[in-house]
Amino acid sequence: MRNAWRVQKICIRRPDDSGGVPKAPYCIYRCSVSVDRRLHNRALADLDVELIRLNKQEQSIAGRLEDISEAGICLILPTELLTEELVRLEAADSTVFGHVVYSTWTRNAFRTGIELERVLLGATDLADLLRSALQETMPWASVSSR
């Protein structure tokens, strides 16, 4: 867990009792600590993906890859997925197999966590970028070239 301190300065003009020029502003400093409960750092991403539900007659869903971490990847999808559901992701010329860890409604879509099982990377520049992000965040992951 990591702590992040946030200091906020709030200033209010105090009126002069005689109706003249306002006095100097009255300032309050408010401090707060936010605790990041994540166990692993995230590598931010913004990549179109196609998710295939392996248990649902290969149903295909278009989504966005939001971030990659040592624990897996986070997708933004229009559809809720079941926990432990097996999925295949297609991004550029790369394929990723995994299972759903969570699927939570946030604002206007489902934020979905996928734990990776197997990664098959292609030969494009985009696949090289994905390979370097995976090697940096998941050095233990099984990454193969097609």
**Secondary element (H or E) of residue 45:** strand 42-53
Region 42-145: CATH code: 2.40.10.220
Residue type, 75: L
**Surface-to-core class of residue 1, CB atoms within 10 Å of its CB (0-12 exposed, 13-18 middle, 19+ buried):** exposed
The pair phi, psi for residue 131, each rounded to 5°, is -60, -45
pLDDT tens per residue across span 62-114: 999 988 887 789 999 999 999 999 999 998 788 889 999 999 998 899 999 99
Q: Where are the domains of the chain?
A: 2-36, 42-145
pLDDT tens per residue across span 6-44: 555 555 555 555 655 555 555 555 555 544 455 556 677
d(CA 138, CA 121): 14
- Asked whether the beta carbons of 141 and 117 are under 8 A apart, the reply is no
The pair phi, psi for residue 127, each rounded to 5°, is -65, -35
- Specify the range with the lowest mean pLDDT, choosing from 37-41, 45-49, 129-133: 37-41
